[in-house]
Amino acid sequence: MNVYPLPAADLKGEGMTSQRARDRLVASLKEGGIRDPRVIEVIRNVPRHHFIDQALHSRAYENTALPIGHGQTISQPWVVARMTEALIEFGIPQKVLEIGTGSGYQASVLAALVPQVFTVERIEELLRQARRRFRQLGLTNLRTRHDDGKLGWPDEAPFDGIILTAAGDTIPTRILDQLSPTGVLVAPVGSPSQQMLIRMRGDGHGDFIQEELGAVSFVPLLGGIG
């Protein structure tokens, strides 16, 4: 497993950003059904407070979504863990595309587990902040792009894994076309009032096996750039 360096201050921490607070979060994830030890270890070590405003640091290791501005949120840790677990269950993908960088938290979790992560964000200011965080954490296996997420990243396709961190009524065809024949895609699908986390696995012959992984709540998948 790839493990990126964390600043010494973050490993020590104080109060609600301490390792003890992270351990409590991990305990709650285990109680919620997260089982993959690789995912659990990464969630324990990634400094989630780096990805939110300082005013919210006291809530960084609560198992809840938090606002990051521009109408977006940093996902609930359980959801990040579940999506990551679902993506790597059948093997570590070598090349993963994330649609919706947001705060950069999900991308950082992925970058600790897979060799290459490509992440696309439509809101320029969010991407600028995420890039700064990636540099601070010393992530070198992660590439970013400011673009319409619905377009994916065709120049780098195919991808062994794709994660969407926003929900649409369906998976955009352009994104699905960028999944390798045996790749895995994990995404929320549905309306704002009713969404389901799904996993699609390519069978190697042009068809997909689709599974429902449980009800979730995500911000909507929007087109264009801002």
Domains and CATH numbers, the chain: 65-216 (3.40.50.150)
Taking alpha carbons only, the member of 86, 81, 93 closest to residue 183 is 93
Residues of the chain short of pLDDT 70, as ranges, are 1-17
Helix (H, G, I), strand (E, B) or coil at 61: coil
| Catalytic annotation, residues | 75
> Can you tell me the distance from the alpha carbon of 127 to that of 145, in angstroms, rounded to the nearest whole number?
8
Q: Tell me the per-residue pLDDT of 116-125, one tens digit each, with 9 for 90 and over.
A: 999 999 999 9
**Distance linking the first and last C-alpha atoms of the chain:** 35
User: Would you state the pLDDT for residue 6?
Assistant: 46
* Cα dihedral 226/157/86/167 (nearest 10): 30
Q: What is the pLDDT of residue 189?
A: 97
Angle between helices 19-31 and 77-88 in degrees, nearest 10: 60
**What pLDDT, in 10s, does the model give residues 39-95?**
999 999 999 999 999 999 999 999 999 999 998 999 999 999 999 999 999 999 999
pLDDT value at position 19?
81
Cα torsion 17, 18, 23, 24: sign: negative
* Model pTM score: 0.91
